[in-house]
């Protein structure tokens, strides 16, 4: 048996019923009030009865219903599969179908997309609408689904909450970009996420006086840290409004946040806008960065702004639950002392394991570079209904009997003190503002849309080592139309995966192995600063 991820919230609601659990927009919601909403959603799910996948889908975005939905699903003993109202319909539909969920909870913020989603969804769903008093008029045209608006939901009194669940129970199911062109599912179990919540809440001594940031979409696993580290200790979660997500300086000050968690790109934007001034954030006591490499320059700048705060670099893939290594930034060290100007990813969390291997999966010598493999209680056991991908990435290593290791695809090396330094990727996965992108997924869409085989996507421009967007090259083809290409990309890819520009090329540079040389393409872009006038036929902007 394992502790339910929602147990921390229920315990805090007992201890601090009147304290604020959540601040969204102008609303402050106490633990007691959020608990009531959670119970209503949880009991409604339970009243609908059992269903096969053990997972309930949630289409909502950082609203009261989104947070209550996450907790309500967990309270019902199910895992939550967050869908993103900002994603294209096609992608949301695929995620919903892959989840196998027969229940969908939808927040008011998803109402524009909901009728289209439901009319294309195969199978019939129970659709819970906590923000609608009565079923919307359009629901009559979709008789195959059953609608439960607020007026028909359970009162919550009969919620049967199990603080302990079977250890195989799923806490959440996320979808990451897939190199085959389809998002791939990662199911994280309560047994994976509980060690994380415990370790991190203890490490940062989170308490009921804390005020934590909530920047991440629910489809990004870093949001799990925000919610559950916060509620575990009776603290308050501050949902950062969309317009402040990349420029949160005023929000941090106005709300006197004590704990910050974001991708490093946010620091770059604040620096560019001259919003990161020394002493700006005195209320912060811990600042955590994760999701992409942390440039040493950004750590130093943030430290000067958050004078009373520690600055920590956390690292981890979704498959290993949020983050699994950390490094405490030492303000005494000069940023130039760091390899490639990037803060190391440090040491594994207590009880978790790292190993660096060569192509034959043999452990490399200290100081040698190799692929980082991860094992321990935080690492899940495979991809959702995808045994082939699971076999490829979840492996046995020579000399480690019985332990399953997750191959991250991250190139790293370890120094004599055991500190791990991040060197880059061994494949074509990149990060844009922390979002994980398999470039092949973009290329698969472009290939289909352009009707041409030769297509290459790269991350560009790159500032302080972080890609800020995507540029695509496609082989010259008379039938290709810029507007059609970008419009079709928007139908299947989220905003952060849409190329900013598409260039037509007659020839692609090749490397020694006869493969397209992406580095040469990037160097051309750098040299010409995006002004590939001779070859640029198509130009489009993602926004």
In this complex, which beta carbon is closest to ligand AMP, that of residue 147 or of residue 204? 204
The answer to whether the beta carbons of residues 498 and 451 sit under 8 Å apart is no
In this complex, which beta carbon is closest to ligand AMP, that of residue 37 or of residue 292? 292
In this complex, which beta carbon is closest to ligand AMP, that of residue 211 or of residue 225? 225
In this complex, which beta carbon is closest to ligand AMP, that of residue 281 or of residue 422? 422
In this complex, which beta carbon is closest to ligand AMP, that of residue 291 or of residue 469? 291
Q: How far apart are CA 374 and CA 391, in angstroms?
A: 15
3 state DSSP class of 268: helix
In this complex, which beta carbon is closest to ligand AMP, that of residue 249 or of residue 299? 299
Residue partners of 250: CB distance under 8 A and separation at least 6: 244
Q: How far is the CB of 160 from ligand AMP (least distance, A)?
A: 34
Q: How far is the CB of 134 from ligand AMP (least distance, A)?
A: 39
- E strand or H helix at 480: none
Q: How far is the CB of 291 from ligand AMP (least distance, A)?
A: 5
Q: How far is the CB of 420 from ligand AMP (least distance, A)?
A: 10
In this complex, which beta carbon is closest to ligand AMP, that of residue 85 or of residue 291? 291
Q: How far apart are CA 386 and CA 366, in angstroms?
A: 34
3 state DSSP class of 165: strand
In this complex, which beta carbon is closest to ligand AMP, that of residue 210 or of residue 410? 410
- E strand or H helix at 490: helix 482-492
Q: How far apart are CA 235 and CA 9, in angstroms?
A: 10
* Chain residues in the site for ligand AMP (CB under 6 A): 176, 221, 290-294, 313-315, 317-318, 345, 408, 410, 422, 425, 431, 436
- The dihedral over CA atoms of 203, 218, 184, 326, expressed in degrees to the nearest 10, equals -20
Q: How far apart are CA 79 and CA 5, in angstroms?
A: 10
Q: How far is the CB of 422 from ligand AMP (least distance, A)?
A: 4
Q: How far is the CB of 372 from ligand AMP (least distance, A)?
A: 8
Q: How far is the CB of 384 from ligand AMP (least distance, A)?
A: 14
Q: How far is the CB of 272 from ligand AMP (least distance, A)?
A: 21
Q: How far apart are CA 56 and CA 43, in angstroms?
A: 13
The answer to whether the beta carbons of residues 123 and 99 sit under 8 Å apart is no
Side-chain half-sphere CA neighbours of 303 within 13 A: 19
Residue partners of 46: CB distance under 8 A and separation at least 6: 76, 77, 154, 158, 159, 160
């Amino acid at each position: 048996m394992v502790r339910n991820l929602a147990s921390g919230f229920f315990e805090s609601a007992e201890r601090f019923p009147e304290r604020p659990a959540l601040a969204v927009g102008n609303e402050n919601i106490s633990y007691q009030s959020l608990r009531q909403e959670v119970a209503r959603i949880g009991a409604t799910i339970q009243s609908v009865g059992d269903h096969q996948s053990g997972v309930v889908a949630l289409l909502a975005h950082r609203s009261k219903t989104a947070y209550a939905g996450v907790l309500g699903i967990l309270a019902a003993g199910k895992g939550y599969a967050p869908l993103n109202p900002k994603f294209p319909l096609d992608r949301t539909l695929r995620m919903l179908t892959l989840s196998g969920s027969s229940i969908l909870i939808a927040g008011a913020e998803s109402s524009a997309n909901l009728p289209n989603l439901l009319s294309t969804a195969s199978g019939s769903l129970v659709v819970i609408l906590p923000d609608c008093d009565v079923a919307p008029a359009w629901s009559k045209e979709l008789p195959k689904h059953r609608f439960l608006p607020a007026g028909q939901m359970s009162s919550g009194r009969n919620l049967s909450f199990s603080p302990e669940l079977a250890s195989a129970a799923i806490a959440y199911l996320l979808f990451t970009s897939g190199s085959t062109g389809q998002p791939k599912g990662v199911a994280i179990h309560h047994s994976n996420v509980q060690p994380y919540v415990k370790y991190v809440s203890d490490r940062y001594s989170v308490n009921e006086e804390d005020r934590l940031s909530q920047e991440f979409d629910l489809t990004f696993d870093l949001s799990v840290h925000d919610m559950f580290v916060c509620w575990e200790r009776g603290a308050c979660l501050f949902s950062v409004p969309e317009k402040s997500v990349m420029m949160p300086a005023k929000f941090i000050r106005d709300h006197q946040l004590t704990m910050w968690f974001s991708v490093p790109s946010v620091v770059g934007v604040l620096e560019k806008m001259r919003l990161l001034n020394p002493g700006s954030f005195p209320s912060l006591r811990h600042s955590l960065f994760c999701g992409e490499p942390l440039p040493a320059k950004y750590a130093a700048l943030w430290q000067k702004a958050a004078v009373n705060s520690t600055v920590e670099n956390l690292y981890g893939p979704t498959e290993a639950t949020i983050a699994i290594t950390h490094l405490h930034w030492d303000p005494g060290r000069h940023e130039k002392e760091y390899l490639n100007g990037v803060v190391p990813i440090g040491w594994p969390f207590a009880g978790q394991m790292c190993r660096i291997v060569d192509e034959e999966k043999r452990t490399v010598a200290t100081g040698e570079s190799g692929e980082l493999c991860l094992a321990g209680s935080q690492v899940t056991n495979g991809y959702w209904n995808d045994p082939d991908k699971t076999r490829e990435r979840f492996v046995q290593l020579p000399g480690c009997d019985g332990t399953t290791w997750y191959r991250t695809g991250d190139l790293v090396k370890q120094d004599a003190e055991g500190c791990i330094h991040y060197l880059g990727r061994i494949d074509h996965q990149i990060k844009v503002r922390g979002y994980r992108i398999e470039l092949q997924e973009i290329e698969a869409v472009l290939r289909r849309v352009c009707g041409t085989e030769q297509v290459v996507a790269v991350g560009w421009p790159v500032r302080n080592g972080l890609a800020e967007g995507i540029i695509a090259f496609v082989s010259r083809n008379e039938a290709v139309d810029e507007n059609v290409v970008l419009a079709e990309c928007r139908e299947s890819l989220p905003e952060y995966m849409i190329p900013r520009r598409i260039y037509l090329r007659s020839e692609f540079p090749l490397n020694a192995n006869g493969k397209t040389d992406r580095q040469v393409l990037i160097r051309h872009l750098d040299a010409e600063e995006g002004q590939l006038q001779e070859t640029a036929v198509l130009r489009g902007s993602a926004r």
